[in-house]
Amino acid sequence: MWNKCTQAVNTGHFAVGPRERKSPPLLARRGQVKLVLHIIDVQDEPDSPRSCPDVTHHTVMVKKKRVRLIAEMARKIRAYRELKSQPRESQRYALDYDTMKRPYTGKMLPVLAWPDVRKESRLFSLLASMRMFGVGRSFTRKSWLEDHTEPSYWQITKVKVDYTAENMDHGKAWGVLTYKGKQESEVKEVDKVMYHDWRLIPKHMEQQFMDFEPLPEPPVRYVAYPPLLRAMLLAQHKKATGSVLTKEPTLPLKREVQLNKDYFRRQEQEKQSKEGTAV
């Protein structure tokens, strides 16, 4: 009976029966959405053409959200203008070598950096004077040469130059970092390109840097205590001796003693010999 009744109703209506419910159709009308609900009351009568249920209409008006195209375009224009108004790196890191100040921020460089600023070069000052902007060449830093005996250098793989700079000596560079003889597997952006301590590795010395084999790291045998346990050990030592523990307590990863009955018996005997018996 139900199938015959639903066939008699228009297919665009929403039929609600005792066992079946479908989503209502959406009819757009003058900026609003009209939901038409057709509720069918089924009568328990024999199947016949005249036994179709009565149909009642319930209309719910829902306000449709308006798309403001001009406002959306204005928002994108404001975001674009804000992005274009940001200073470029050539403006932010420009330097007056007479006063050692950056004109954009007005900040003065540290006095200890003045000798390196006058003698050493920035990374893009070296890349701008090279073929293909130094892609494939290796660069190191003066601070790495002074602080580490192991070779540390960058091998440049990609360069994005700021063509608005006066000498094209600003931009971004990417490469593979080898720090203390250990080469990283991923290509990442070179940091601190504006520092005045970059040096080009000559061609005849690149192979010496690459052939270096780092020594294997010694295995870790001790680790630091957790913060709460460390505080408990320090407080216990201060309470027992009256002085602060100068050596940092560490937890051995390898067990040096065997935890059996004899070990705990000896620990108990040592404790009784120090404290005495409770008599």
Q: 3-state SS of the chain: helix, strand, coil percent to 5?
A: 35, 25, 45
- Among 157, 188, 210, the domain boundary falls at 210
The answer to the question of residue 153 being in a domain is yes
Per-residue confidence band for 3, with pLDDT thresholds at 50, 70 and 90? very low
The answer to the question of residue 246 being in a domain is yes
Length of the chain measured in residues: 279
| Domain shared by 129 and 198, yes or no | yes
| Domain shared by 228 and 196, yes or no | no
| Domain shared by 182 and 231, yes or no | no
- Among 189, 210, 231, the domain boundary falls at 210
The answer to the question of residue 190 being in a domain is yes
| Domain shared by 180 and 254, yes or no | no
Beta 15-16 vs 32-41: how paired, if at all?
Answer: parallel
Please give the radius of gyration of the chain, using alpha carbons only, rounded to the nearest integer: 39
| Domain shared by 205 and 127, yes or no | yes
Q: Which pLDDT does position 64 carry in this prediction?
A: 76
| Domain shared by 128 and 201, yes or no | yes
Q: Which pLDDT does position 169 carry in this prediction?
A: 85
Q: How many domains does the chain have?
A: 3
The answer to the question of residue 69 being in a domain is no
Q: Is the pLDDT of residue 139 over 90?
A: yes
| Domain shared by 19 and 59, yes or no | yes
Instruction: Name the nearest CA neighbour of 244 among 253, 236, 256.
Output: 236
| Domain shared by 151 and 205, yes or no | yes
Which of 36-45, 87-96, 98-107, 126-135 comes out lowest in average pLDDT? 36-45
Domain range enclosing 174? 122-210
Q: Yes or no: say if 139 and 126 are a contact pair by the CB < 8 Å rule.
A: yes
Alpha helices, DSSP H, located in the chain: 2-8, 69-85, 89-92, 114-119, 123-127, 142-147, 203-210, 227-241, 261-275
**Beta-bridge partner residues of 172:** 160
The per-residue pLDDT of the chain, averaged, comes to 78
The answer to the question of residue 142 being in a domain is yes
C-alpha dist (Å) from residue 222 to 125, 225, 226, 235, 248: 46, 9, 13, 21, 11
Q: How far apart are CA 173 and CA 132, in angstroms?
A: 12
Q: Is the pLDDT of residue 20 over 60?
A: no
Q: pLDDT tens digits for 220-234?
A: 888 889 999 999 999
Rounded to an integer, the average pLDDT of 81-109 is 87
| Domain shared by 137 and 192, yes or no | yes
- Tell me if residue 219 falls in helix, strand or coil: coil
pTM assigned to the model = 0.54
- Tell me if residue 6 falls in helix, strand or coil: helix
Q: pLDDT tens digits for 209-268?
A: 888 887 787 888 888 899 999 999 999 889 888 888 888 888 888 776 677 788 788 888
Q: pLDDT tens digits for 51-68?
A: 444 545 556 666 777 778
The answer to the question of residue 78 being in a domain is no
Q: Yes or no: say if 190 and 170 are a contact pair by the CB < 8 Å rule.
A: no
The answer to the question of residue 29 being in a domain is yes
| Domain shared by 185 and 226, yes or no | no
Q: Yes or no: say if 150 and 214 are a contact pair by the CB < 8 Å rule.
A: yes
Per-residue confidence band for 4, with pLDDT thresholds at 50, 70 and 90? very low
Rounded to an integer, the average pLDDT of 15-22 is 45
Residue 253 structure tokens: 């990863």
Q: Which pLDDT does position 276 carry in this prediction?
A: 64
Q: Is the pLDDT of residue 36 over 60?
A: no
Q: Which pLDDT does position 43 carry in this prediction?
A: 45
| Domain shared by 206 and 177, yes or no | yes
Q: Is the pLDDT of residue 97 over 70?
A: yes
**Beta-bridge partner residues of 75:** none
| Domain shared by 148 and 199, yes or no | yes
Please give the share of the chain, as a percent, with pLDDT higher than 90. 30
- Among 185, 210, 235, the domain boundary falls at 210
The answer to the question of residue 83 being in a domain is no
